[in-house]
């Protein structure tokens, strides 16, 4: 029986010309023959799982990486032809500024890409060097202009704070430059030293140069204030958008919409079960061609862990959670969790709706740690 309902699709394109020191995502160097073999395997995986999405309303498709814009538009077009999309489907591709040309993105536009996420990270050229990025602040502005010339208007940029050697004034300068960028969305992240990254392996070298906690909070508050003044409303802890430009795909993660991940190292959440594909492109391609297993791990949370995790993810959204409706749709929240929320400085309660307080928005990780 074919399954119906809303779903999102994530497609991992693992190709990167170099590894950023903070990046923990799986990536490999983009050799032409490897790209072709990967596309063949990727399409075979999609076709093997067609019954899971064929009759469903695909809300969003997201090409992440790696640097998906490294591949040509025919790669993207061939993959998208495997899905039934409509005019309302949000289709995003990630890119680095230096990979953007008008011609390439005109091709992506023809392939039905309608949203672009640019890995800007900063508009301070000195900090971009700290992050070992290959672009300059000028390249970011040029990339946005070229994407607009390609007739793609929904453009998001990633920005970081808590970068080694970053000063408050430097971050303010980056924020001030946003008024000149024709963008619709900002994803704001504080840099963390994830395991198996260059920064983590060399953290003793970089930790002394990280902004102090009080300066980090000042940066966050300045970002919230300046983005609001520019018309970007905060709709999730790390996401700000112009009116009507919320990321449908990311909202799906926070609201536990089912999604299928395709490609090496991709994650899926389906039928209340999470699974991850293997993180080795050669084994992934080999196993696909030989019809062997490509799943690295699978887990299905039992009650009450599943309810608690879902609640925590829902709380990331600024509108919060209607507890009555949440329990009706998902199951009973343990009484000790309700008691904690009722008395937590991280939560404010408005009738049946629980939202993150101002302190909760700043210290969400502390809230999550307390509840888990």
210 & 352 share domain: no
346 & 229 share domain: no
Q: Which pLDDT does position 351 carry in this prediction?
A: 84
- Distance from C-alpha of 281 to C-alpha of 13, rounded to nearest angstrom: 10
Q: Which pLDDT does position 329 carry in this prediction?
A: 86
For residue 61, give Cα distances in angstroms to 18, 153, 209.
25, 17, 38
Average pLDDT over residues 269-282: 94
Residue 291 lies in a domain: no
If one counts the domains in the chain, the total is 2
What is the chain's mean pLDDT, rounded? 95
- Model confidence at 165, pLDDT cuts 50, 70, 90, reads very high
Residues 13/263, Cβ–Cβ less than 8 Å: yes
Residues 236/318, Cβ–Cβ less than 8 Å: yes
- Distance from C-alpha of 117 to C-alpha of 152, rounded to nearest angstrom: 11
Average pLDDT over residues 140-145: 98
Percentage of residues in the chain having pLDDT higher than 70: 99
Cis, peptide link before residue 313, omega less than 30° from 0: no
Phi-psi group of 186: left, alpha or beta (phi > 0 → left; psi -120 to 50 → alpha; rest → beta): beta
Residues 227/175, Cβ–Cβ less than 8 Å: yes
Residue 13's DSSP bridge partners are 65
Q: Which pLDDT does position 53 carry in this prediction?
A: 95
Say whether pLDDT at 231 is over 90: yes
88-132 confidence digits (pLDDT tens): 999 999 999 999 999 999 999 999 999 999 999 999 999 999 999
Residue 281 lies in a domain: no
- Close Cβ partners of 201 (under 8 Å, ≥ 6 residues apart): none
- Distance from C-alpha of 207 to C-alpha of 265, rounded to nearest angstrom: 29
Residue 14 lies in a domain: yes
Residue 241's DSSP bridge partners are 185, 233
Average pLDDT over residues 228-256: 95
Say whether pLDDT at 136 is over 90: yes
Percentage of residues in the chain having pLDDT higher than 90: 91
Q: Which pLDDT does position 3 carry in this prediction?
A: 63
Domain of 103, CATH number, reads 3.20.20.70
254, 279, 307 - which closes a domain = 254
13 & 126 share domain: yes
Paired sense of beta strands 115-121 and 90-95, if any:
parallel
Residue 9's DSSP bridge partners are 61, 260
Average pLDDT over residues 262-270: 96
282-318 confidence digits (pLDDT tens): 999 999 999 999 999 999 988 999 999 999 999 999 9
324 CB-contact burial (10 Å; exposed 0-12 / middle 13-18 / buried 19+): exposed
239 & 346 share domain: no
Q: Which pLDDT does position 272 carry in this prediction?
A: 86
63-74 confidence digits (pLDDT tens): 999 999 999 999
- Model confidence at 1, pLDDT cuts 50, 70, 90, reads very low
Say whether pLDDT at 193 is over 60: yes
175 & 89 share domain: yes
Residue 302 lies in a domain: no
* Closest by Cα among 154, 158, 211 to 186: 158
Q: Which pLDDT does position 192 carry in this prediction?
A: 92
Residue 276 lies in a domain: no
Say whether pLDDT at 2 is over 80: no
Give the position of tokens 């090496």. 264
Residues of the domain holding 188: 6-254
132 & 218 share domain: yes
Average pLDDT over residues 120-148: 97
- Greatest Cα pair distance, the chain, in angstroms, is 59
* Closest by Cα among 21, 5, 24, 104 to 64: 24
Say whether pLDDT at 26 is over 90: yes
Residues 266/10, Cβ–Cβ less than 8 Å: yes
Residue 283 lies in a domain: no
209, 235, 254 - which closes a domain = 254
């Amino acid at each position: 029986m074919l399954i119906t309902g809303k779903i999102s699709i994530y497609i991992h394109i693992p190709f990167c010309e170099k590894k950023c020191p903070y990046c923990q995502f799986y990536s490999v160097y983009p050799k032409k023959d490897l790209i072709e073999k990967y596309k063949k395997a990727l399409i075979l995986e999609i076709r093997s799982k067609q019954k899971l999405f064929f009759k469903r309303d695909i809300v969003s498709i997201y090409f992440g990486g790696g640097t998906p814009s490294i591949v040509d538009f025919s790669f993207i077009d061939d993959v998208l032809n495997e899905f039934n999309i409509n005019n309302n489907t949000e289709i995003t591709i990630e890119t680095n500024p230096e990979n953007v040309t008008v011609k390439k993105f005109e091709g992506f536009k023809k392939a039905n890409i309608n949203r672009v996420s640019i890995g800007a990270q900063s508009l301070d050229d000195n900090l971009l060097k700290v992050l070992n990025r290959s672009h300059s602040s000028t390249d970011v502005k040029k990339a946005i202009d070229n994407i607009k010339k390609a007739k793609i208007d929904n453009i998001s940029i990633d920005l970081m704070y808590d970068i080694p050697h970053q000063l408050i004034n430097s971050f303010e300068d980056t924020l001030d430059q946003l008024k000149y960028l024709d963008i619709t969305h900002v994803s704001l992240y504080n840099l963390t030293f994830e395991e198996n990254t260059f920064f983590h392996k060399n953290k003793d070298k970089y930790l002394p140069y990280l902004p102090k906690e009080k300066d980090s909070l000042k940066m966050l508050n300045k970002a919230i204030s300046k983005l609001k003044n520019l018309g970007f409303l905060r709709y999730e802890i790390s996401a700000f958008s112009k009116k009507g430009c919320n990321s449908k795909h990311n909202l799906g993660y926070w609201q536990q919409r089912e999604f299928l991940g395709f490609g090496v190292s991709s994650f899926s959440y389906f039928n209340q079960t999470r699974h991850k594909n293997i993180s080795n492109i050669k084994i992934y391609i080999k196993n696909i061609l030989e019809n062997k297993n490509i799943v690295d791990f699978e887990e299905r949370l039992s009650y009450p862990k599943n309810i608690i995790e879902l609640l925590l993810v829902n709380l990331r959204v600024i509108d919060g959670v209607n507890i009555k409706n949440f329990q009706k749709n998902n199951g009973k929240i343990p009484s000790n969790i309700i008691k904690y929320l009722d008395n937590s400085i991280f939560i404010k309660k408005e009738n049946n709706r629980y939202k993150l307080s101002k302190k909760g928005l700043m210290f969400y990780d502390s809230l999550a740690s307390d509840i888990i």
